[in-house]
Amino acid sequence: MRLQKFLAEAGVASRRAGEQIILAGRVAVNGQTVRELGTKVEAPGDRVTVDGKPVRSRRKLYVALHKPRGCACTRKDELGRPTVGEWLPKEWGNLYPVGRLDFNTEGLIFLTNDGAFSLRLTHPRYGVRKRYEVTVVGRVTAATLAELTRGIFTEGERLKAAKAKLLASGPSESQVELELAEGKNREVRRMFETLGLIVKRLVRTQIGPIKLGQLKPGRWRTLTETEIKSLLAPV
């Protein structure tokens, strides 16, 4: 990989800051000072130092967490609220959430120290789908589902579900399964609010091919190599 990417993944500096460190002649590969951007290194294999101190590539980690309700999707919350990081081992402080779930939304979220993996799952151009189970106050009809998949305009943008399925419907409460191809801010809640329905409970049950399954709130597990590859496979 490129030397500046290696430095970034090792936690030395951002790629841009890493470029400045290289240009300043502070980086050596196998004992030879390197000042050329784009220099390739093998990890493991090549010995990289910054200011004479060895730099080691960090092991990449991929974790699936059942985010509980009442938990912020960040490592540090300015309001002092509980965060997703509090459910993980302390030595995994370099893992960050892939995307977001609202404070009162629960369900599946990934945490990783692999920036490329995070980009692949969050950028709209890749179209990685997410599935949600939504409990709303009031009755949901076939017409409601049609509006959700046709698209709803609110606050100057169009919100649209790729799929909508009615799981249960009653006069006081209904359950709907939604599948989304994008991850706009508060997308699910905003769609139902625009239709006059209040979301009582919102759970993300699936990201790409990976399901929440029997993972309990606050519990986590590492993703298998097969699962990681399935998430990175072309849609």
Which option is the CATH number for 62-125+212-232: 3.40.50.10490, 3.40.50.1100, 3.30.70.580, 3.60.15.10? 3.30.70.580
Q: Exposure string (b/e) for 157-185, b if CB count within 10 Å is 16 or more?
A: eebbbeebeeeebeeeebbbbbbbeebee
Residue 102 designated active-site: yes
Structure tokens at 213: 């399954």
pLDDT for 56: 81
CA–CA separation, 51 and 49 (whole Å): 6
Q: Where in the chain is the domain with CATH 3.30.70.580?
A: 62-125+212-232
CATH code for the domain defined by 3-55: 3.10.290.10
- The reported pTM is 0.78
Mention every residue, 6+ apart, whose C-beta is less than 8 A from residue 76: 83, 85
* Cis peptide, bond prior to residue 82, ω within 30 of zero: no
pLDDT for 105: 97
CATH code for the domain defined by 129-207: 3.30.2350.10
Residue tagged active-site, from 46, 77, 102, 114:
102
| Element of type H or E holding 23 | helix 15-23
Q: Where in the chain is the domain with CATH 3.30.2350.10?
A: 129-207
Q: What are the backbone angles phi and psi of residue 111, rounded to the nearest 5°?
A: -130, 140
Q: Where in the chain is the domain with CATH 3.10.290.10?
A: 3-55
Beta-strand pair 106-112/198-207: parallel
Question: 3-state SS of the chain: helix, strand, coil percent to 5?
Answer: 25, 30, 45
Q: What is the pLDDT along the chain (235 residues), one digit of tens a residue?
A: 888 888 877 777 777 888 999 999 999 999 999 999 989 988 668 899 999 999 887 778 999 999 999 999 988 888 899 999 999 998 888 889 999 999 999 999 999 988 888 888 988 888 899 999 999 999 999 999 999 999 999 888 999 999 999 999 988 999 999 999 887 889 999 999 999 999 999 999 999 999 999 999 999 999 999 999 999 987 6
